[in-house]
Chains A and B, each alone.
Chain A
Amino acid sequence: MKKRGWGIGCMWYGIGNTGHPNPSGAFVEILKDATAILYTGCADIGQGSNTVLAQIAAEELGLDIESITIVSADTARTPDAGATSASRQTYISGNAVKKAVEQANQPIREKAALLLGVDESDLIFKNNKIFSSKSSDNFLLLKDIVLKCREEGRMMIGHGSFNPATTSLDSETGEGVPYAAYAYATQYAEVEVDTETGEVVVLNLIAAHDVGKAINLQMVEGQIEGGCLMGLGYALSEELVVDRGKILNPGYKNYLIPTAGDLPGNLAVHVIESFEESGPFGAKGVGEPALIPTAPAVINAISNALGVRFYECPVTPEKIISALHKANENIVDVKS
């Protein structure tokens, strides 16, 4: 028989290291040809931080992303950005990059405000131009202003750093400010359980994530989809088998991570943009939050389908059959 059920998993997750300073720094130089070089220690391990940090720099200057050259993950040349961990790089290094660009951009702002006859706070940098917020007809070309600055001997160099506002935690009560920003997410799963084999098929998985602001929507969606699959592996198949201290499945032949074939029938990602006040353009982290609610949602769905609860991951077909047998025995006991 096949039984269906649904379940929900919710989470909140602090961005960055817990109750410790964990700053990031960046250098930026705007060059004569109105392109910029960005130096950051941030290591892109595939999550796309090189793209996101370049986007943040480009957005601040009103340039195309192609105009930004990024030097990253090389602390012989770049400032330290701390670890790519704790879902922290978009939020923390993103802020550092934004501040560095602001400083590098200062000579341009001063010059442009003077030429447009407006306050610096009225300047808008967009499409390689500098506009006055009062009139869209009134604008300058960024490259002209860059050249003027250089002709006057002014370099456009900036450095920036950001450290999230945390405090250490009280050693007895745990009281304090562990994180400056939090991500929130809810996932909903629908499963079909084969009560004869114990096989679980995830029919539907809906992931709603508050990311503050999606700097790069496609990458955020990709990261959430990837996280959901990791969460499915955690919930259903990834089991490290240890015998007297020795790992018996140290390879992917027997340590089963999901394949493309194990994707849910429907996987829907909803990106919620709440705007995080302390984040660059409102952004916060998404890396780890993506996988956290998946296993609870799926396992709740299995429990909802079968009326049996599970307290150990992964919930393998064999564990399901064994739990169903036990549940049936208990019913018999009650009757007799």
Chain B
Amino acid sequence: MLQGYLRPRSIEEAIDILDQYEGKARVIAGGTDLALQLKSKEMHLAALLDLSVIDELRYIVEEGGKIKIGALTTHTDLAESSILHTEAPMLSRAASSVGSLQIRNVGTVGGNIVNAQPAADTAVALLALGARATIVSGTGKREVPLEQLYLAGGGTALDPTREILREISFDSPGYRRGGGAFGRFSKRKAMVLPVFNVAAVLWMKSDGLAFKDVRIVMAPVALVPFRARAAECYLIGKSPDEANFKQASFLAAEEAKPRDSYFRGSAGYRKHIAAVMVMRTLDEAWKTLLNRGWRE
């Protein structure tokens, strides 16, 4: 039975309270997922800690090519950020495809990550951007690559009974001769989970002729968003052309392991969509890279 609804003024105070409740309290930010879980699941919580008044956790800043995003930054903030429009438009695009305007206005990027939905749009983009999560607790602070935060069996390695996600950060691709894109296929234009979503970031070698590094992240074709490593490996060292992108998207679709689903479609169709969407997203990532040039 829920007894307390607390509004700590700082993240330090929030951590203290979490510890005091010894596992019987949870953090609530936008609440767009948690409120549904509270209704449908047997969650025996004594208290909710509403972080939404802690403005110090809501920011998007750029410092020397590094983008830092506070965990309480909303999807609308991400969608409308001029910094992201310049440095990582793929993240704005991913954020703007979540739910509805009302959900984007309250749902936070931290919540989207910690809730670990298999198809979380911003998480897919952030994983491709190589983002790292800063997590704080009563025992200190740790920084974890986002892809290590997600557990292969679903969920995250963050302990919600004592830890709080504080910040997400990544290197702007543009500063390392990189460019990225986000692609999403869904059965309707809004208010629906994707059949498939993908984010890709391409980084060029200094000669500008071949790829130095590639990250392709796909969902929901496994329990958590995951990297299409065979496709990435194939592209590294290759030149940006249609045949290479085509082969990479074929490899990515091979790596995707969708199940037959009444709503998302048959496994065969979902693999087909994966190949099409990876191809289009690689193509768009390359165009983004070309159009925006790169800064040394």
| Contact call A197/B187, Cβ cutoff below 8 A | no
The residue on A at minimum CB distance from B277 is A197
| Contact call A259/B276, Cβ cutoff below 8 A | no
Given the known A-B contacts A196-B276, A241-B262, A248-B262, are A261 and B187 also in contact in the complex, defined by CB atoms under 8 Å?
Answer: no
Chain B: minimal CB distance from A122 (Å): 58
The residue on B at minimum CB distance from A322 is B269
Chain B residues 107 to 153 lying within 8 A of chain A, measured CB to CB, are: none
A321 close to chain B: CB less than 8 A: yes
- Of the A-B pairs whose beta carbons lie under 8 Å apart in the complex, a sample of 30, sorted by A's number, is A196-B276, A197-B185, A197-B273, A197-B276, A237-B188, A248-B262, A249-B262, A249-B263, A254-B262, A254-B263, A256-B187, A256-B188, A256-B192, A258-B188, A259-B100, A259-B188, A259-B190, A259-B191, A260-B190, A261-B188, A261-B190, A262-B189, A316-B187, A317-B187, A317-B265, A318-B265, A318-B266, A318-B269, A321-B272, A322-B269
Chain B: minimal CB distance from A320 (Å): 10
How far apart are the CA atoms of A199 and B192 in the complex, in Å? 15
How far apart are the CA atoms of A317 and B188 in the complex, in Å? 11
Instruction: Using A197-B276, A237-B188, A317-B187 as known contacts, list a sample of 13 further A-B pairs with CB atoms less than 8 Å apart, ordered by residue number in A.
Output: A197-B277, A237-B187, A241-B263, A249-B262, A249-B263, A256-B187, A258-B188, A259-B190, A261-B190, A262-B190, A316-B187, A321-B269, A322-B269
Give the residues in chain A near B265, CB-CB below 8 Å: 316-318
- Scoring A residues 290 to 318 as 1 if CB is less than 8 Å from chain B, else 0, what string do you get? 00000000000000000000000000111
Give the residues in chain A near B188, CB-CB below 8 Å: 237, 256, 258-259, 261-262
How far apart are the CA atoms of A113 and B266 in the complex, in Å? 76
The residue on A at minimum CB distance from B190 is A261
Q: Size range of the interface on B?
A: 10 to 19
The residue on B at minimum CB distance from A248 is B262
Chain A: minimal CB distance from B124 (Å): 18
The residue on B at minimum CB distance from A233 is B188
The residue on A at minimum CB distance from B275 is A196
Give the residues in chain B near A317, CB-CB below 8 Å: 187, 265
Give the residues in chain A near B266, CB-CB below 8 Å: 318
Give the residues in chain B near A260, CB-CB below 8 Å: 190
Residues of chain B at the chain A interface (Cβ within 8 Å): 100, 185, 187-192, 262-263, 265-266, 269, 272-273, 276-277
| Contact call B262/A199, Cβ cutoff below 8 A | no
How far apart are the CA atoms of A316 and B187 in the complex, in Å? 8
Give the residues in chain B near A243, CB-CB below 8 Å: 262
How far apart are the CA atoms of A261 and B188 in the complex, in Å? 8
How far apart are the CA atoms of A241 and B262 in the complex, in Å? 7
The residue on B at minimum CB distance from A257 is B188
How far apart are the CA atoms of A316 and B192 in the complex, in Å? 15
The residue on B at minimum CB distance from A314 is B187
Give the residues in chain A near B100, CB-CB below 8 Å: 259
The residue on B at minimum CB distance from A199 is B185
Give the residues in chain B near A237, CB-CB below 8 Å: 187-188
How far apart are the CA atoms of A197 and B189 in the complex, in Å? 14
Chain A residues 187 to 204 lying within 8 A of chain B, measured CB to CB, are: 196-197, 199
Give the residues in chain A near B189, CB-CB below 8 Å: 259, 261-262
Give the residues in chain B near A197, CB-CB below 8 Å: 185, 273, 276-277
Give the residues in chain A near B276, CB-CB below 8 Å: 196-197
Q: Which 6 A-B pairs have the closest CB atoms?
A: A261-B189, A261-B190, A196-B276, A318-B269, A318-B265, A259-B190
Chain A residues 242 to 268 lying within 8 A of chain B, measured CB to CB, are: 243, 248-249, 254, 256, 258-262
How far apart are the CA atoms of A316 and B195 in the complex, in Å? 12
Chain A: minimal CB distance from B41 (Å): 16
Give the residues in chain A near B263, CB-CB below 8 Å: 241, 249, 254
How far apart are the CA atoms of A317 and B266 in the complex, in Å? 12
Chain A: minimal CB distance from B269 (Å): 5
Give the residues in chain B near A248, CB-CB below 8 Å: 262
Give the residues in chain A near B190, CB-CB below 8 Å: 259-262
How far apart are the CA atoms of A248 and B190 in the complex, in Å? 21
Chain B: minimal CB distance from A262 (Å): 5
Residue among A199, A237, A241, A318 facing the most chain B CB atoms (10 A cut-off): A318
Give the residues in chain A near B187, CB-CB below 8 Å: 237, 256, 316-317
The residue on B at minimum CB distance from A260 is B190
How far apart are the CA atoms of A237 and B265 in the complex, in Å? 13
How far apart are the CA atoms of A196 and B190 in the complex, in Å? 21
How far apart are the CA atoms of A243 and B272 in the complex, in Å? 25
Chain A: minimal CB distance from B253 (Å): 12
